Each structure stands twice: as C-alpha cells, then as structure tokens.
Structure 1
Amino acid sequence: MATRWFRKLQHSKEGRRGPRSWKPSFFSSFSPSWKWTRLSFRFSLVDDPWSSFSPSPASSSAADANFDGFGAMEKEGEEEGAAGVERGYPVEIRPGSTRIGWIGVGVMGGAMAARLLAAGYDLTVYARTPSKAAGLAGAGARLAASPAAAAAASDVVFTMVGHPADVRAALLDPASGALAALPRGGVLVDCTSSDPALARAVAAAARAKGCWAVDAPVSGGDVGAREGTLAILAGGDERVVAWLAPLLGRLGRATWMGAPGTGQSAKIANQIAVAGAVVGAAEAASFARAAGLDAATFMEAVGAGAAGSRVAEIFGRRMVERDFASGGFVEYMVKDLGMALGRGVEEAEEEEEDDDDDAKEKGAVVVLPGAALFQKLFLGMVANGDGKLGMQGVITVIERMNGL
C-alpha cells in the first residue's frame, strides 16, 4: 500500500516538490493525503521510483560520479519520465555497511547512539569529554578526535549537543566542523533542540557542498532515548527524511514536518506544552502537600483522570520521589523557551534578510505569556545553582515560594 502511495506521489507535480499547504493541528496531524505519522516509516523505498534520489553512503564511488542534486534529477525526470532517471540511489541503509558518525554523547545522545550501535551500524563517535564515550567504545564504536574526523569516516552524521552555539561549532566550523569533512552526498541529522534559523543555515551550507541536512529534534526524554520511543520532529527534504527511515525508526517515531527549520519550530512548540505540564504537576503536588495529602497517593489517583499524562507520569513520579537527576538539563528548557520568546536566538538569525514579512516564520511575533512565566520559574532553578538538574526540580522553586 505504501509503495502504491509513493508511486502515485512520484508522478504528481506536487509529489516532487512537496505539498504547498498544510493543515497541522497541535503536534503532528496532517491533511488526510499525507500520513507520515500513521505510516511511521514502516516501509522501504529501495524498490520505489524515489530510489533514484541522491543521498547515498559516501563509500559508494558511484554516488560521487552521479550526484547532481534533487533539483537536477527532478528536471531530468520531467524531461524523460521517472524511468529515465538512473535507478539505484540512494543506496539502501543497512547495518554493517552504512557508516554512522555521532557527535555528542550526553544523557540523550549516548543512549541514542547506543541503539544504533546495538543494531549493527558502524559507529564513529566524537565526545568533547572522551570519558563519556567509554561505554560506546567498549561496545565497538571508534572514537574520533574532532567532529570533522567523525564525519570523514561517515555517510550519515548525527549531532546531539546542548546549545545552538554548539551545533554551529560542531557542524560549520571551517577547520573542525563535520560539514567540512563530510563526503559529497553525505547527510547531517541534527537532533539538538536548536534555532530554526540555524537549521536553515546548516541546510543551505550542506546543499552548497552537495550534501543534505535534516533538523530532527526529539521529545521523550532519557526514557524514550533508551527505549527507542522518541518522537522525532523532522525538517528538511521529504525524500531525505524518508531515506533515513531505518535509522530514525531505531530511535523512535519520525514525523516529517516540512522544509528545513520546521522540525526545530515543532520542537519549540512541544517544549511550551511540556513546560506547562511540568509546572502544572509541580503546583498540583505542592498544593496537595500543603493541604495535608499524601503526594504519592494524590498523583496516582489523578493519573487515571483528565490530569493524567505522560509528563505527569514521568516527571510527577520523580517529584514525589525527590529524584531530580536530569532527564534533560533544565538549562536546556530555559534555552528552548527563550527561542519561543525570541530571546537569545542564535546569531544565525542575523544572517537572514531582515524582512518584516518573514517575522512570523521566524517565530518572533507570537505572544506567549505562559511560556514567559514558565521560563522565569525554571530560571529560578538555574539561579539556585540547579541548572544541571532535570526540569522536575521546578517543584523546589514552588516549595520555596510557599515555605514548604
């Protein structure tokens, strides 16, 4: 069924360029004819007409010889028909043959990289703190001295670092960045929660070199990273995202959001919702405690009703157990909410033309009073020296405000 759907799409003008209009509801609903979420990448593109597009493992000499970009291949297809385009690209992603580079092995990145390594993929890792990669090295991964060194030995390079500035350094530094050494036809996949404008800049830089870039931030925390149940919000060329399905499917459930940068915009929206739910759980637990209720009993009781959610289940339980170990540093949530509020946005924003008509696309004009309040509460944790704790620690801020 999926193959027939793709064949129909390949022969439509809209299919080659992607839909012009979308009707997303909150998170990841699309118009009825575009059901990426429902399909969840449970298909193969190898025998499909789209197998002629170019991102292919850099180890294939044919990739360099024939790589001409999607635009050129679309033109050729228009003139000769889909059958006129030489078949065989992309080379199928396979454990044991596809080479993966991984930059950033913290709480999230380390668990995600471990899942790809366990699936049999050839893995080269770069970590600013080499000791954090010791477990991966012991399981068979190779260690690289720089992002560039990791990329030089890879077909697909993932990044999972902390801040937009880290993404810029890891990918775009002319001396040590991954893009500088990535072989032609290679693909960058940035899983960091970062700036949409920077994602667009990385995508443009990759195209200029004959490579591709996808922004694919994730949601699901440390539990989702370990279990491979992350929600992956992907922005970039639709066909590149589809080609990455074997890798993304190992990490979670991927949804194509649209053009470069849209994955990051979706993640920022996700973080607004998560922040509100975490603060709500913290306030509810604090009120219950002040009212003389047993917090654990309360959280369990309301979990079966309308107040129940995955956020309440994971973070509410950690609040009750006083487990504030990070599932993602609260300072990262401060960063994400800052991007939603237009504060501290990466300097990549300055590289784009300052056009008032583009303001909404850049996410700079939305009034978010709730997000502003959530950020102040999380900043309270940072001010108390708790920036490296998980966001569930915001309950300590609420408790201090109430003398609990």
Structure 2
Amino acid sequence: MAEIPPLIPKNGAPYPTSISPSTTRIGWIGIGVMGESMASRLISAGYSLTIFARTPSKAANLQSLGAKLVNSPVEVAQSSDVVFTMLGHPQDVRRIVLEKNTGVLSGLGPNGVIVDHTSSDPGLAKEIFAIAREKNCWAVDAPVSGGDIGAKNGNLAIFAGGDENVVDWLNPLLRIMGSKVSYMGGAGSGMSCKIANQIIVGANLLGLSEGLVFAGKAGLDKGKWVEAIRGGAAGSMVMELYGGRMIERDFKPGGFAEYMVKDMGMGVNFVEGGEDDGVVVLPGAALTKQLFSGMVANGDGKLGTQGLISVIERINGI
C-alpha cells in the first residue's frame, strides 16, 4: 500500500502508514441522499465518524449508528485524519472547506486529508489542493457516479484527482463506498471526469425519456419495450437504474434534477485555463441543460433526474 510522505509528525508521531478502523479517524460533512448512505457504509465497516450537518435533524440516523455530531466543519477536522465532504454546489464546498476559522482546512492537522465527493468545479478543486498543500495537508477530488442505489450498495464509480500516492493510500476507504476507483490525474481531474460523465448521463436520460414517450404514443407497452431493447445497442446503465422508475412515475431523487443543471452548466461553460480558445462546444449538453432547467422552472428541481421525462411529456401535451 502506498504511503503518504510524513512531512510533519502528527501529535509527535509519524503519520499512520495504513488505514484501519483502529488507527484512522473519519470525518463526514454532507448527509443528503447520497452522503448518508456512503457514511453509513463506513460506520458498518467499523470506522468511528465525526459528522457535521447544516440541518442537525438530518444526522439522527447516523447518530443512531454511533456517529458523533459536532457544531462546525472545523470541529470535524480537528477530530479527524480524513474528512469526506458530499455537498450540493461549489459554493457550498468553498464555504465548508475554505472559510476562515470555521472551514475544514482551518482545523485539519498536518498530513490530514480532505476528500471531496461533491460534483464540483475543477478550478475550485485545484485551489483547495494548493491551499491544503500550503498547510501540509492533502486534498483529493473524488466525485462519484451510481446514484442512490450505488451509494447504498457500495457500487459507486469513484473518479479521483490529486496526488496518486494519497489516492492509493485512501483506497481501503474508497472501496467501502465504490466498486471501482479510478485515478484520473492531478487536482481537478476527478471533477472534470464527473462533468464528462454527466454529459453522457444527461444524453441517456433524454434519449430514454423520448423513447418512452414515443413508445407510449405508438401504443406500445412501455415495460415490454424496455425489456425488448435493454440487451441491444440502446441499453445502458441509465436504463437499468431509471427505466422502471420512469414507467412507474417514481421520481424520488437519487440525484436532484437541479444538480444536473449545475453539472451541465460546468460542462457547457468550461473554458480551459480561462482562455477563449479553450472553449468546448457541446450542443447536446446545452440542450440537456435547457431541458433540466425546464424541470426547475416547473418547480420540479428537487425531483430525481429521471423526472426529465415530465418535460418531454409536457412538450407533447401529456
């Protein structure tokens, strides 16, 4: 197992060279649809968690499993070797991680590690990494894909950016939550990978929505239609996760529709290095962003992403 170079002794002793429930203190911030399931898997694996919740009542389930609730992100960091964050938007990450005196990096000790699972901005991930290194800490951007089912079952795909040795060192923790951990490169690479992932997910959700609406208009049994095509070229993980939910009108969120607007926006508005010649033209992602924005405008931003079919239905007078 790779080791984190012990730049500065922690508490008078070398930094632990291995991860285990008896030696590694875990902090967790962000206990929404995904975060609660991911955190509970770490507790089930024997790790002690210190948590912070902006809405303390949401922490009740994790507390019942043994997690300790504290009052601020900095308190989580002060009690942890590794702090995980799973938040909604980049501005949330900036506030929770970087805010002076109260943020995670104000309390994390030397060689401590922050792992951000939020689907966030690559530029912010690079900024956090640089500030963490100034404090002799480490930062890894590690967004995930797989939805609420993947989070519950530990089958998430995890895309990691940062120092490769640190990612390798974290692998025992990451593999509790994900069945596949991919190192993508330097700081920000994990976030860029997730944006590209979401571009494909958005396109698949749109195609599946339009296919279901067409099948219904053509008089087909939608369930039979999904079964007929799922093993062919049209089949996808999106279909496996959401096809049945769309047919049953189950729009319970595994990921909020409003977050897809954010994710598509980061792709559509991407400018590498801030230079005009680095703009990526993504007409499909731009259309998908517009349709998800329609969901938000209809008051459905808190529905699951599979609710995109409702926009296609509205367009067709259904």
Give the TM interval when normalised to the shorter protein. Answer: over 0.9
Superposition RMSD on alpha carbons, in Å? 1.8
Does residue 191 in structure 1 map to residue 117 in structure 2? yes
* 8 Å contact from structure 2 (residues 147, 255) kept in 1: yes
Q: For 1:224 and 1:387, how far apart are their aligned partners in 2?
A: 21
Contact 1:56 1:91 in 2 (8 A): no
Q: Secondary structure at the match of 2:3?
A: helix
1:102-152 CA-partner distances (Å, limit 9, x unpaired): 000000000000000110111001111111110100010000101111111
Counterpart residue number, 1:276:
203
Whether 2:225 is the aligned partner of 1:298: answer yes
Q: State the AA in 2 paired with 1:172.
A: L
The answer for the alignment partner of 1:391 in structure 2 is 305
Structure 2 counterpart of 1:8: none
**Equivalent position of 1:37 in the other structure:** none
1:164-215 alpha-carbon deviations (Å, 9 max, x no partner): 0000001000021011001111000000000000000000000000000000
2:35 maps to which of 91, 109, 115: 109
Q: Which residue is 1:51 aligned to?
A: 3
Give the corresponding residue for 1:120.
46
2:87 is matched with: 161
Q: Closer, same or farther in 2 for the Cα pair 1:146/1:237, shift >3 Å?
A: same
Q: Any idea what the Cα deviations from partners look like across 1:258-284, whole Å, max 9, x if unmatched? A: 000000000000000000001100000
Secondary structure of 1:97's partner?
Answer: coil
Please tell me whether Structure 1 or Structure 2 has the larger radius of gyration of its CA atoms. Answer: 1
Alpha-carbon distance in 2 for matches of 1:56, 1:319: 53
Distance 1:55 1:187 in 2: 13
1:145 correspondence with 2:71? yes
Conservation of the 8 A alpha-carbon contact between 1:214 and 1:234: yes
**Which of 293, 304, 309 is the equivalent residue of 1:379?**
293
CA contact 2:4–2:165 (8 Å) conserved in 1: no
Paired amino acid for 1:204? A
Amino acid at match of 1:299: V
The residue that corresponds to 2:13 in the other structure is 62
TM-score by length of 1: 0.76
Provide the C-alpha distance between the structure 2 equivalents of 1:54 and 1:242, rounded to a whole number of angstroms.
15
2-side partners of 1:55 and 1:269: how far apart?
35
Identify if the C-alpha distance between structure 1 residues 299 and 55 changes in structure 2 by more than 3 Å, giving closer, same or farther: farther
Change in 2 beyond 3 A, CA 1:331/1:269: same
Decide which of 192, 196, 199 is 1:265's aligned counterpart: 192
Contact 2:77–2:107 under 8 Å retained in 1: yes
Shift of 1:55: 7.7
Total equivalences in the alignment: 317
Partner of 1:85: none
Cα deviation per residue 1:40-74 (whole Å; 9 max; x = unaligned)? xxxxx1xxxx536238995x5223xxxxxxxxxxx
Asked if 1:356 is matched to 2:275, the reply is yes
**Structure 2 Cα separation of the partners of residues 55 and 392 of structure 1:** 46
Q: Is the 8 A contact 1:219 1:232 kept in 2?
A: yes
Say yes or no: does 1:211 pair with 2:163: no
Paired residue type of 1:54: P
Report if aligned partners of 2:144, 2:194 keep a CA contact under 8 Å in 1: yes
- SS of equivalent to 2:184: strand
**2:157 alignment partner in structure 1:** 231
Segments of structure 1 that go 5 or more residues without pairing to the other structure are 1-44, 64-88
Cα distance in 2, alignment partners of residues 52 and 108 from structure 1: 28
